[in-house]
Amino acid sequence: MSGGFAAVDVIRAKRDGGVLSDPQIDWVVDAYTRGVVADEQMSALAMAILLNGMTGPEIARWTAAMIASGERLDLSAVDRPTVDKHSTGGVGDKITLPLTPLVAACGGAVPQLSGRGLGHTGGTLDKLESIPGWRAALSNDEFIAQLRDVGAVICAAGAGLAPADRKLYALRDVTGTVEAIPLIASSIMSKKIAEGTGALVLDVKVGSGAFMKSVDRARELARTMVELGGAHGVRTVALLTDMSTPLGLTIGNAVEVTESVEVLAGGGPADVVELTLALAQEMLAAAGLPDADPEAALRDGRAMDAWRSMIRAQGGDPDAPMPTAAEVEVVRADADGFVAEVDAYAMGVAAWRLGAGRARKEDPVSVPAGVVLHKRPGDPVRTGDPLYELRADDASRIPAARDDAARAVRIAPAAPARPPLVIERIG
Ligand code: URA
């Protein structure tokens, strides 16, 4: 026992469906961060929270305690309005790459602290590290200076930001407690509030490739996060967006950078462009810049200029060619018809097996590995048409990915009805 509480009493209270008091929450989050509450005790508490939930005030207090576990950045030296975006994670979700420089090109400053991929979802930092020379780690001073000079930064969160979340997220990952809405909402919002952004747009993914498989759960998560943002003075809106199929035509690291650059050059797949513009419009409105025209900034090269400045500022060479995979297997259609489905989860697992993702935090990722789709849901196909490519550094990785990729794709006699990409707006 320490500070008047015993961890086991806090665990029992939540196990029995009780409401934790503010002092209990403050104590348990702080004591866990300091190593006084052990991992096994926090695992039990996280499972009790997953099973029994938390009230709105409990989630708000838990989030405040996670923010208080570390530093809160002060971005007042940045003279443009700050606005960030957070995606709850998906397959082929490279939107941060074109979106960050696009919003900067329209007058916002985007302080994007990103993560690495784990499991079947990709990580923005892993993707950007495909660019020779680019570095993810910046000091707080470098972060703020780049935000002032370029208006766009994508980098790793420093160790001082919400350390309680860093520890708790790693624990949840290995204890089957990632999917608890109070824990996801407090994890995401503690980091975003601590980074100091003035406004925030959340891209809450729904579907097989997302943590939230149903619209109802995604809506509950979105509402919880929007309320948390408002309570901490961060203007927050959320879009619920479809993640039943991968975004765009590429899933991996270098392949996703290449596709993002196509979008910045005014091309790219229609769904990536649509979501990039929808999120840019929300971010610019939340930042108090509703008259900015992101479509024009993509067309006239301003977004590309901001991308090049952002990459160079972090040591990257925006003109360096992307590495190509040593092994490429093209998979072809075995029937005539329409692509009825490309399942996001199964394709995400295939890309992961090819080496694009990692099994353990410390594993390296392969830069050129991944999947390149030739067809998307709704496209007509004829027998023998290329459906997708599996790319890897090492031929031994391809057989393991074949089955997942084959399971992901279904061909049917008629074109399917597709859900809208942007399902709902909350805010
Ligand atoms: N992303 C986070 O940062 N935290 C979660 O809990 C889930 C997704």
Q: Residue with structure tokens 């989030």?
A: 63
Answer yes or no: do 338 and 258 share one domain.
Answer: no
Distance between CA atoms of 186 and 15, rounded to whole angstroms? Answer: 19
Nearest 5°: the CA angle 54, 60, 63 is 100
Q: Is the pLDDT of residue 420 over 70?
A: yes
Q: Give the domain CATH number at 276.
A: 3.40.1030.10
pTM value is: 0.95
**Residue 335 and residue 279 in one domain:** no
Residue of 83, 78, 100, 88 whose CA lies nearest to 283: 83
Cα 383 to ligand 1 centre (Å): 41
Cα(286) to centroid(ligand 1), Å = 22
The rounded distance, in Å, linking the Cα atoms of 314 and 297 is: 22
Tell me, yes or no, whether 309 lies in a domain: yes
Same domain flag for 235 and 382: no
237 and 101 belong to one structural domain:
yes
Local confidence band at 422 (pLDDT 50, 70, 90 cut-offs): very high
Q: Per the domain annotation, does 351 fall within a domain?
A: yes
- Ligand 1 atom closest to the Cα of residue 184 is 6
Range scoring the smallest mean pLDDT among 114-128, 301-315, 391-405: 114-128
Q: Which of 266, 282, 313 is the last residue of a domain?
A: 313
Tell me how far apart the alpha carbons of residues 330 and 180 are, in angstroms, rounded to a whole number.
Answer: 39
Exposed/middle/buried for residue 207 (C-beta within 10 Å: 0-12, 13-18, 19+): buried
Confirm or reject: Cβ of 184 under 6 Å from ligand 1: yes
Residue 118 has pLDDT above 70, yes or no: no
pLDDT of residue 115: 83
Residue 231: pLDDT band with limits 50, 70, 90: very high
Query: Is residue 258 located within the same domain as residue 337?
Result: no
Q: 347 is written with which tokens?
A: 């394709």
331 Cα to the center of ligand 1, angstroms = 34
Q: Do residues 89 and 116 share a domain?
A: yes
pLDDT at res. 421: 98
Same domain, 89 and 144: yes
Q: Are 33 and 69 in contact (CB under 8 A)?
A: yes
Q: Looking at the structure, do residues 295 and 351 belong to the same domain, yes or no?
A: no
CA–CA separation, 94 and 159 (whole Å): 24
Task: Write out the residue range of the structural domain in which residue 132 sits.
Answer: 83-158+190-313
Atom of ligand 1 nearest to the CA of 169: 6
User: What's the rounded Cα separation, in Å, for the pair 153 and 313?
Assistant: 9
Q: What is the set of active-site residues?
A: 86, 165, 172, 187, 191
> Residue 105: pLDDT above 80?
yes
Closest residue by Cα to atom 6, ligand 1, is 184
Specify the 3-state DSSP secondary structure of 11: helix
Q: 62: exposed, middle or buried (C-beta count within 10 Å: 0-12, 13-18, 19+)?
A: buried
Q: What is the mean pLDDT of residues 271-276?
A: 98
3: three-class secondary structure by DSSP: coil
Residues 282 and 137 reside in one and the same domain: yes
Q: What percent of the chain has pLDDT over 90?
A: 91
- Whether residues 147 and 268 share a domain: the answer is yes
Residues 43-66, mean pLDDT to the nearest whole number: 98
The whole-number pLDDT of residue 3 equals: 60
CA atoms of 314 and 246, how far apart (whole Å): 28
Cα angle value 248/251/253 (rounded, 5°) = 120
**Mutation test residue for ligand 1: of 211, 212, 224, the one with most atoms within 8 Å of CB:** 211
State which amino acid sits at residue 407: R
Domain count, the chain: 2
Give the C-alpha separation, 258 to 246, whole Å.
16
Indicate if ligand 1 lies below 6 Å from the C-beta of 188: yes
Q: Is 88 in the pocket of ligand 1 (CB under 6 A)?
A: yes
- For residue 100, tell me if it sits in a domain: yes
Lowest mean pLDDT segment, chosen from 35-39, 208-212, 263-267? 208-212
Atom of ligand 1 nearest to the CA of 188: 3
Q: Measure 186 CA to ligand 1 centroid, in angstroms.
A: 8
CATH number, residue 384 = 3.90.1170.30
The residue type found at 83 is V
**Mean pLDDT across the stretch 112-117?**
86
pLDDT at position 106 is 98
What residue's CA is closest to ligand 1, atom 2? 188
- Looking at the domain assignment, is residue 4 inside a domain? no
| Radius of gyration of the chain, Cα coordinates, nearest whole angstrom | 22
Mean pLDDT of 38-65: 98
CA distance 266 to 263: 5
- DSSP for 251-287 reads EESHHHHHHHHHHHTT-S-HHHHHHHHHHHHHHHHHT
Do residues 381 and 337 lie in contact, with contact meaning Cβ atoms separated by under 8 Å?
yes
Is the model's pLDDT at 2 over the cut of 60?
A: no
Q: What would the two tokens of residue 137 be?
A: 């780690």
